[in-house]
Amino acid sequence: MANDRKASYGIDAPSAPVGMILGAIALIGVGIGFVIMAGWWAAFPFAGAAFEIAQAVSYLYATKKGKFLAWERLLDRLELRGDEQILDAGCGRGMVLIAAAKRVPEGKVTGVDLWRTKDQSGNAESATMANAEAEGVADRVELRTADLRELPWKKARFDVVLSAAVFHNLKGAEERKAAVTEAARVLKPGGKLVIADIGRTKEYVEALTEAGLENITRSSGGLGYNYGLIMQSMVVTATQPGKPAQPVKASKRAGAS
């Protein structure tokens, strides 16, 4: 997935690395001024500029490669059968959506988003579907426009719910709780939830505990999935209580006795 991509997935929150780079340029300018006026004090702004450059490099690596590798591992751990109904909450241009769709040839992956370009460059429903077509999975992908705090499905609709770096964009704690609770609500009994995000993940653990989910874990997404040197990606996983429904055998679907 990370090295053989036919689609274009843009840059997450593109204003962030731009700000880091501009900050580095500004600090270099200050450092030059200090060299002229204050000698060794120039070390401080130059050190700050180096930090901002390292931040930008880390951020761009995460958004262009690191997150792909991280989600390969996360999807591997789900051990999908291949016929699951999956929801990608806040799918953006479809990185997780498409990776999941490749693993469920007899299933379906639904992506829901509000398609805001400040969250991802070029974010649009048409761009996501074009990516699905380029990756050969458009036949098992559905896209919807909806608010994560009020999903348009009844309870227990999906076998798996996934989300990547989305819920932190909701500004209030109650709004984030509502979105996480909705993700739990639409899970079938025995269904699995995987949320990767920067910040606020302790809130998600609390919300999932209150919603009655089990086997809740919170762990690092790995160094390559950190958006900068101080924005660590964390992964929260959980399971909806209950026993998963057994898939209907082909003979029964065909009406055989």
DSSP string, the chain: --S---S----BSTHHHHHHHHHHHHHHHHHHHHHHHTGGGGHHHHHHHHHHHHHHHHHHHIIIIIHHHHHHHHHHHH---S--EEEEET-TTSHHHHHHHTT-TTSEEEEEE---TTTBTT--HHHHHHHHHHTT-GGGEEEEE--TTS-SS-SS-EEEEEEES-GGGS-SHHHHHHHHHHHHHTEEEEEEEEEEEES-HHHHHHHHHHTT-EEEEEEE--GGG-SSSS--EEEEEEE-SSPPPPPPPHHHHTT--
Per-residue pLDDT, 4: 64
Nearest one of 130, 128, 100, 131 to 112, comparing CA atoms: 128
The mean pLDDT value of the chain amounts to 87
Domain ranges of the chain: 80-245
Q: State yes or no: pLDDT of 9 exceeds 70.
A: yes
Q: Model pTM? A: 0.83
Q: How confident is the model at residue 36 (pLDDT cuts 50, 70, 90)?
A: low
What's the whole-number mean pLDDT along residues 138-149?
Answer: 96
Q: State yes or no: pLDDT of 2 exceeds 50.
A: no
Q: How confident is the model at residue 41 (pLDDT cuts 50, 70, 90)?
A: low
Per-residue pLDDT, 54: 87
Percent of residues, the chain, with pLDDT higher than 90: 59
The better pLDDT of the pair 34, 39 is held by: 34
What's the whole-number mean pLDDT along residues 168-182?
Answer: 95
The better pLDDT of the pair 229, 144 is held by: 144
DSSP string, 231-242: --EEEEEEE-SS
What's the whole-number mean pLDDT along residues 95-113?
Answer: 96
Q: What tens digit of pLDDT does each residue of 228-257 get?
A: 887 889 999 999 998 877 665 544 443 432
Q: What tens digit of pLDDT does each residue of 22-32 get?
A: 887 887 787 77
The better pLDDT of the pair 224, 29 is held by: 224
Of 7-16, 35-44, 117-126, least confident by mean pLDDT is 35-44
Per-residue pLDDT, 7: 74
Percent of residues, the chain, with pLDDT higher than 70: 89
Per-residue pLDDT, 197: 95
Give CATH for domain 80-245.
3.40.50.150
Nearest one of 13, 246, 175, 196 to 88, comparing CA atoms: 196
